[in-house]
Amino acid sequence: MFRNTRFWVLGVLIIGLLSWGACGGDDASSDEPIRIGLLHPHTGALAGLGVDMTSGYEHYFEEEGMVIAGRPIEIIVEDSEGNPSVGLDKLKKLIERENVDIVAGPVSSGVAYGIADYIRQSEVPIFITQATANGLTQGDRAPNIFRTAFSSDQLHLPMGEYYVNELGYSKVAGLALDYAAGHEHLTAFKNALERAGGEMVQELYPRLGETETSTYITSIKADEVDAVNAILWGATAVPFVNQQHEFGLRDRVPLTSLGSTVEDQLELPNQLPEAAEGIISYLAYCLCLETPANNAFKTSYEAAEGKLPNYYTAIAFTGAKALGEAIKAVDGNVSDREAFLAAAREVTFDGPMGPFSYDEYQNPVINVYVREVKIGADGEAYNALVDTIENVDQFWGMSQAEKDALLNPS
Amino acid sequence: MSTPPTGRSPRPWGLAPGNPLGDAIASLTGRRRFFLWAVVGAVVVLVILPQLPFVDTYWTGILSRMLIFAIFAMSLDLLIGYTGLPSLGHAAFFGAGAYSAGIFYKDLLCPDRGECVAVVGNFWFALLLGIAISGIIAALFGLLVLRTRGAYFIMITLALAQMLWAITWGWRSKTNGDDGLSVVFEPGAALPSSFNAEAFFYVVLGFFVAATALMYLIVKSPFGQALQGIRESETRMLVLGYNVWLYKYLAFILAGIFAGVAGSLFVYLNNFVSPLDIWILPSAEAFLMVVLGGPGTLFGPAIGAGFIVFLENFLSDYTERWLLILGIIYVVVVLFAPRGIFGIARSEWVRKIVRDTFGGRQPVAAAPDRQLKPHTQLKEDEPGE
Amino acid sequence: MDIWFTHTLNGLSFGMLLFLVAAGLSLIFGLMRVLNLAHGSYYLLGAYVGITVSRETEMFWLGLLAGMASICVLGILMQKLLLDRYMHDEMAQILVTFGFLFIIADVALWIWGGHPQSIVKPSLFDGSVQIGSIQYPVYKIFLLGLGLILAIGMGLLQEKTRVGAVVRAGVDDEEMTRGLGINVPIVFTAVFGLGALLAGAAGVLGTANTAVGPAYDFEILVFAFVVVIVGGLGSLRGALVGAIFIGLVDSYAKAVIAEFPGTLSPTLAQVTIYAPMAIVLALRPNGLFGRAS
């Protein structure tokens, strides 16, 4: 039995292949590099954001020479595909097989929720680079979950008062994408508007990825509102701005938006300048910021990558810096988790998006910038700074009762 | 019991002459003996695998995933390989199982974390409900899709799966939309927490063995033989007096139920399910698993599933171009291995190795080849149901 | 009522775009019995080629031409090198065309990145016209007209010319047509190329009005599937009626949901395009204009 050599050769080959594939890295000692697992979508519908964010994240560590506090930095990138199941698998791989010390990512809120339970049990520190789902730093918060971007609510909280008092728009029609993040964004704006005494007259939710926006533009009750707020991004934002121009929407009602509807380097280059000109928008970043930190970032990023950074690279760069500063604060000793988490909470610095610090729930306090689309001498559209609202945290303007309800959901 | 065959065939270990089991095994021909050894060997390997030093918890999790997708791929093989129904939306039933098991557990049995109606057995109850819902949805979809054939069948299965995807996305109050449904199963819900990868693996292995055995019995039964008859020629089966529609309908429901088993286990593995688990990609991957393994071989698709899951996770160390590689595999399989891995396994040189290794009385080539011909023509011109 | 007039125009112009994609899918199937799952990818790739060329040259029409030509060549290559071998092998067709769906999606992501992009409309069709009390984009009216002209043109080609007669003969009885000494393989290749070309053209024309990004290939494919299920595979008239019908249903459903917020999720409203499909299937399993069995 089993005397055939080919049988044995095949068996040995298969076992060899399996064990080669299954062998992972060994435990890291203090002389070894700090291993950072980066979980970003590089394929799938969110690939554009993910690739840019990885680029911004790596740019920070490259600027630091890939060494922080004397310890070399190793970044292991895994593609979450923007898919929670895949993201969970890849996270397990990063933690159980690659033995990463720290996880950064994800971009999608779905992936963030998909990995939340696992990350809580594993106790590995995670620095969420983008996923804005409110719960992650509220009802579902955990000591090892940090967010370096902002929550969905946060961008909109101060805008209620701003719309009613500064812009004079108290009746608004809103558009947001029909998925979890879109609903969170528009609901946050609606609540803020109502807190300030305004009224949300109409809510429209185009499908995520919808590119045929004419129906929604036609449906806007332009005669009954003071302004439209388009909280869109990506594949829906580009045609929306172009098509509303053709339909003459702005002849009937002013158009405002979340910054991501008309963002420099992203949507704006694909929109007709005359269609976007004059749109007031708000976001946690503006390429136009003339702060030393943003100017330095723009210069070094352009020198390294050959193109200007965008909103997502700026967010990722800020997140990487928040992590880097935390590693510096413990002098590279990230294996003492308690000390590392305590030091990470205290991180403050001036980044491209403005001053950075965490609130007590490990979500940053941000600046919200109000901008206006202008047309430059070269005929290209760009956003110019109009106003800055400083020190906005994730509960800005809320009552204690509202805050408690968010922090301790039943 | 017949006398043992010629001396080339050694008796199985420890079974003296006269022992009925030993005689039975010894009387098998080379091909069947190989099959028996392969099954026993595969189970033994699977039982031992998580204990090996180089298989860490990550790979144990991947092994669980392989087994779950093996059940899924085998259930699709009941349709593609045995009945000749090329479904491109099979993930619908996988997702239906996952979502219903999750929702039932979360909303019905454990409305608040830790305050379950009755902790022990809840998971099993949720699992059963998940499987039942998959079966019901398959029964509903079956009424529609079986009115069509060929290209229409492909399109309608894909479109119906998309519809279910849209429902999981849009029915936010129950499914939590695209944020996905997070289901934390309480430890003590009759099963070990899935955080214990190893224990969960053995649970999945149990399901895998049971599901495989059941499906094997189905395809070998007169019912399964009739399905294969339908695959070859519906007209002939109609003439022979079979209720072709009913057979196809039952096959569609059975396939949905087994996909539901896989889906329900999947939500327990991940504690999570999202609309993307119903989307086109899982359906397409399952389709590839079946064709890669060899449609109509049942075990082939299981191997195909293991291969695809392994490759996807293995390659992510080296490249992000998984979709590109997947696409190339599709084309390469068609060009070079249209009968799948099992098709290669049945080629002459592999058979010779099997004969040399396991002995046997007669050349295996004489055994009837029940391999699916990859020529399932579009039967547009045949009468409808 | 003006609003519903606008919704109707929106639905019609979207329907015309769907017609361009579905007509190719349907014709290819009718003649060759090949269900091309990569047909949506032709739209995507055509759009991307159009974007690059029209950006480099700043000429929209050159972009359109490049998009059409490149996709036509790709389609012919796919048909000649791969699909031709598997004329009657349904399983192989699914695998090859699905393989190309993935390959094209990933290569496009690789080359053009994941951010959505758009094409600048030709200045000829910039701006809008006043119809009664409403303002409507000229470009959408152009799309509507172009779709109608193409539909009529293709209908005439199929019904009145020798080429059309050969194609119809091929659809009805391939062997007999071959027996008459007609070079059927060339007809096959030509029709496949034409179908691909139409999808590529739809990609460029559609993107000029909207945007294109990852996953749009699949979105278009599902829409095209529903259109041909409703209209019937292999029928040009079916593709036209199905496309207009689905375009209108899609537009009205979105509008109704916008009128009654909070009742239905718009994504769930996608189900509204499946409902007519299910009804048609229940009544006529081969679609409205598909050939009866």
The dihedral region occupied by A211, where left means phi > 0, alpha psi between -120 and 50, and beta the remainder, is alpha
Most confident of B130-134, B265-269, C257-261: B130-134
At A30 the pLDDT is 53
Q: Are B271 and B61 in contact (CB under 8 A)?
A: no
Note whether A243 contacts C209, CB cutoff 8 Å.
yes
Q: Mind telling me how many Å the CA of A43 is from chain B's nearest CA?
A: 7
CA angle A81, A84, A86 (to 5 degrees): 55
Calculate how close chain C gets to A91, using CA atoms only, in Å: 22
Q: Does C283 touch chain B (CB under 8 A)?
A: no
B 162-201 residues with CB < 8 A to C: 162-163, 166-167, 169-172, 177
Q: Are strands C128-131 and C134-137 parallel, antiparallel or unpaired?
A: antiparallel
Q: What is the DSSP letter of A207?
A: B
Res. A1: pLDDT tops 50:
no
Query: Would you tell me how many other CB atoms lie within 10 Å of the CB of residue B154?
Result: 25
Residue B228 to residues B80, B296, C89: CA-CA distances in angstroms? 10, 9, 18
* Interface mutation target, options A38, A89, A109, A123, chain B, most CBs of B under 10 Å: A89
Give me the pLDDT at residue B194, please. Answer: 52
Average pLDDT over residues C246-274: 79
Task: Report the pLDDT averaged over residues A11-30.
Answer: 49
In a mutagenesis test of the A interface, which of B168, B172, B179 is the best target, namely the one with the most A β-carbons within 10 Å? B179
**Does the pLDDT value for residue C293 go beyond 80?**
no
What is the three-class DSSP state of A89? helix
Cis-peptide, bond into residue B368, ω within 30° of zero: no
Which H or E element spans position A405? Answer: helix A400-407
Residue C40, both tokens: 């949506």
pLDDT band at B2 (very low <50, low <70, confident <90, very high): very low
pLDDT value for A243: 92
C-alpha to C-alpha distances, B199 to A119, B61, B189, B191, B205, nearest whole angstrom? 20, 10, 14, 9, 10
Q: Please give, rounded to a whole number of angstroms, the shortest distance from the CA of B351 to a CA of chain C.
A: 26
Kindly determine whether residue B324 and residue C106, on different chains, have CB atoms separated by under 8 Å. Answer: yes
Instruction: Flag whether residue C225 sits within 8 Å of chain B, measured between CB atoms.
Output: yes
Residues A285-313: what's their mean pLDDT? Answer: 95
Sequence-distant (6+) residues with CB within 8 A of B362 are B29, B30
Pairing between strand A171-176 and A145-147?
unpaired
CB contact under 8 A, B331 and C218: no
* Interval A367-390 mean pLDDT: 95
Q: Is B381 on the interface with C (CB under 8 A)?
A: yes
CA distance C36 to C29: 8
Using left for φ > 0, alpha for ψ between -120 and 50, and beta otherwise, residue B7 falls in: alpha
**Average pLDDT, integer, range A231-244:** 92
Q: Are the C-beta atoms of residues A313 and A301 closer than 8 Å to each other?
A: yes
| Secondary structure (DSSP) of A267-283 | TGGGS-HHHHTT-EEEE
Which residues in chain C are contacts of B151 at CB distance < 8 A? 29, 33, 35, 90, 233
Question: What proportion of chain A, given as a percentage, has pLDDT over 90?
Answer: 75
Smallest CA-to-CA distance from C23 within C167, C169, C171, C191 is with: C191
At B342 the pLDDT is 66
Q: How confident is the model at residue C105 (pLDDT cuts 50, 70, 90)?
A: very high
A388 pairs with which residues across the strands? A369
Check whether B207 has a pLDDT greater than 50.
yes
Residue B356 has pLDDT above 80, yes or no: no
pLDDT band for position B29 (cuts 50, 70, 90): low
Q: Does A408 touch chain B (CB under 8 A)?
A: no
For chain A, say whether B61 makes contact (Cβ under 8 Å): yes
Those residues whose C-beta lies under 8 Å from the C-beta of residue A191, and which sit 6 or more positions away, are A160
Give residue A38's pLDDT band: very low, low, confident or very high (50, 70, 90). Answer: very high
Nearest CA in chain C to A312: C115
Convert the pLDDT of each residue in B300-334 to its tens digit. 999 999 999 998 888 877 888 888 988 998 888 88
The closest of B88, B113, B128, B96 to B182, measured between CA atoms, is B113
Task: Identify the band that residue B385 occupies on the pLDDT scale cut at 50, 70 and 90.
Answer: very low
Kindly indicate the confidence band of residue A52, based on its pLDDT and cuts at 50, 70 and 90: very high
Query: What is the Cα gyration radius of chain C?
Result: 19
Quick one: pLDDT at residue B152? 86
Q: How far is CA B257 from CA A343, B80, B88, B131, C228, in A?
A: 52, 15, 16, 6, 30
B357 touching A (Cβ < 8 Å): yes
Number of Cβ pairs closer than 8 Å across A and C? Answer: 123
Q: Tell me the angle at which helices C138-160 and C162-172 cross, rounded to the nearest 10 degrees.
A: 80
Mean pLDDT confidence for B369-376:
42
A-contacting residues of C 78-107, CB under 8 Å? Answer: 106
Residues in chain C: 293
B329 beta partners: none
Q: What angle do CA C228, C233, C235 make, to 5 degrees?
A: 100
pLDDT at B73 (0 to 100): 96
Of A48, A213, A243, the CB nearest to C115: A48
Closest CA to A181 of A203, A158, A208: A208
What tens digit of pLDDT does each residue of B255-298 get? 999 999 999 999 888 888 999 899 888 998 999 899 888 888 89
User: How does residue B28 score in pLDDT terms, banded at 50, 70 and 90?
Assistant: low
Which residue has better confidence, B14 or C147?
Answer: C147
Can you tell me the distance from the alpha carbon of A192 to that of B154, in angstroms, rounded to the nearest whole number? Answer: 48
ipTM of the complex: 0.91
What mean pLDDT comes out for the span C101-124?
Answer: 91
Q: How far is A52 from chain B (nearest CA, A)?
A: 15
DSSP B31-78: HHHHHHHHHHHHHHHHHHGGGSTT--HHHHHHHHHHHHHHHHHHHHHI
Mean pLDDT of A243-253: 92
* Whether the Cβ atoms of residue A193 and residue A199 lie closer than 8 Å to each other: yes
For residue A7, what pLDDT band results from cuts at 50, 70 and 90? Answer: low
| pLDDT tens per residue across span C58-97 | 899 999 999 999 999 999 999 999 888 888 788 888 889 9
Query: Residues C86, B72, A85, A120: what is their CA dihedral angle, to the nearest 10 degrees?
Result: -160
Shortest Cα distance, chain B CAs vs residue C173, angstroms: 12
**Cβ-based contacts of C270 with chain B (< 8 Å):** 162-163, 166, 170
Contact between residue C31 and residue C158 where contact means Cβ atoms under 8 Å apart: no
Nearest to A134 by CA among A53, A188, A77, A75: A188
| Mean pLDDT, residues A108-121 | 88
Say if residue B383 is exposed, middle or buried (CB neighbours under 10 Å; 0-12, 13-18, 19+). Answer: exposed
Structure tokens at A375: 């047309």
Which pLDDT does position B200 carry in this prediction? 83
- SS3 assignment for chain C: CHHHHHHHHHHHHHHHHHHHHHHHHHHHHHHHCCCCCCHHHHHHHHHHHHHHHHHHHCCHHHHHHHHHHHHHHHHHHHHHHHHHHHCCCHHHHHHHHHHHHHHHHHHHHHHHCCCCECCCCCHHHCCEEEECCEEEEHHHHHHHHHHHHHHHHHHHHHHHCHHHHHHHHHHHCHHHHHHCCCCHHHHHHHHHHHHHHHHHHHHHHHHHHCCECCCHHHHHHHHHHHHHHHHCCCCHHHHHHHHHHHHHHHHHHHHHHHHCCCCCCHHHHCHHHHHHHHHHHHHCCCCCCCCCC
Q: Which of B56, A218, A294 is nearest to C135 (CA)?
A: A218
Cα separation, A301 vs A109, whole angstroms: 27
Give the model's pLDDT for residue A363: 96
Q: At B359, is the pLDDT very low, low, confident or very high (cuts 50, 70, 90)? A: low
Interface of A with B in 103-162 (CB under 8 A): 109-110, 113-114, 116-118, 121, 133
How open is the CA angle B249-B253-B254, to the nearest 5 degrees? 115
Q: Is the minimum CB–CB distance between B140 and chain C shorter than 8 Å?
A: no
Tokens of C246: 């689905």
- The whole-chain average pLDDT of chain B stands at 80
Alpha helices (runs of H) in chain B, residue ranges in sequence order: 20-27, 30-48, 57-77, 91-103, 122-145, 150-170, 172-175, 197-220, 222-232, 234-239, 244-270, 280-293, 299-315, 322-336, 340-345, 348-358
3-class DSSP assignment, residue B225: helix
Answer yes or no: do A97 and B59 touch at CB < 8 A.
yes
Tell me what the mean pLDDT of segment C245-262 comes to. Answer: 85
Percent of all residues in chain C with a pLDDT value above 70, rounded to a whole number: 95
Nearest to B277 by CA among B63, B72, B60: B72
| Nearest alpha-carbon partner for C198 in C187, C190, C209 | C190
> Which residues, numbered 83 to 102 in chain C, qualify as contacts with chain B under a Cβ-Cβ cut-off of 8 Å?
86, 88-92, 94-96, 98-102
Residue B61 CB contacts under 8 Å (≥ 6 apart), including other chains: A89, A92, A96, B197, B201, B269
Predicted confidence (pLDDT) per residue in B290-308, tens digit: 988 888 889 899 999 999 9
**Residue of chain B with shortest Cα separation from A131:** B179
CB contact under 8 A, C88 and B378: yes
Q: Which residues of A touch C213 (CB under 8 A)?
A: 45, 48, 209, 234-235
Q: Is A143 helix (H, G, I), strand (E, B) or coil?
A: coil
Please tell me which chains touch C, using 3 or more CB pairs under 8 Å as the contact test: A, B
Q: Highest-confidence range of A146-150, B176-180, B235-239, C283-287, by mean pLDDT?
A: A146-150
Query: What type of residue sits at position A302?
Result: E
Question: Per-residue pLDDT averaged across C139-167, rounded?
Answer: 90
- Contact between B69 and A85 under an 8 Å Cβ cutoff? The reply is no
Alpha-carbon Rg for chain B in angstroms: 22
pLDDT band for B195, please (50, 70, 90 cuts). low
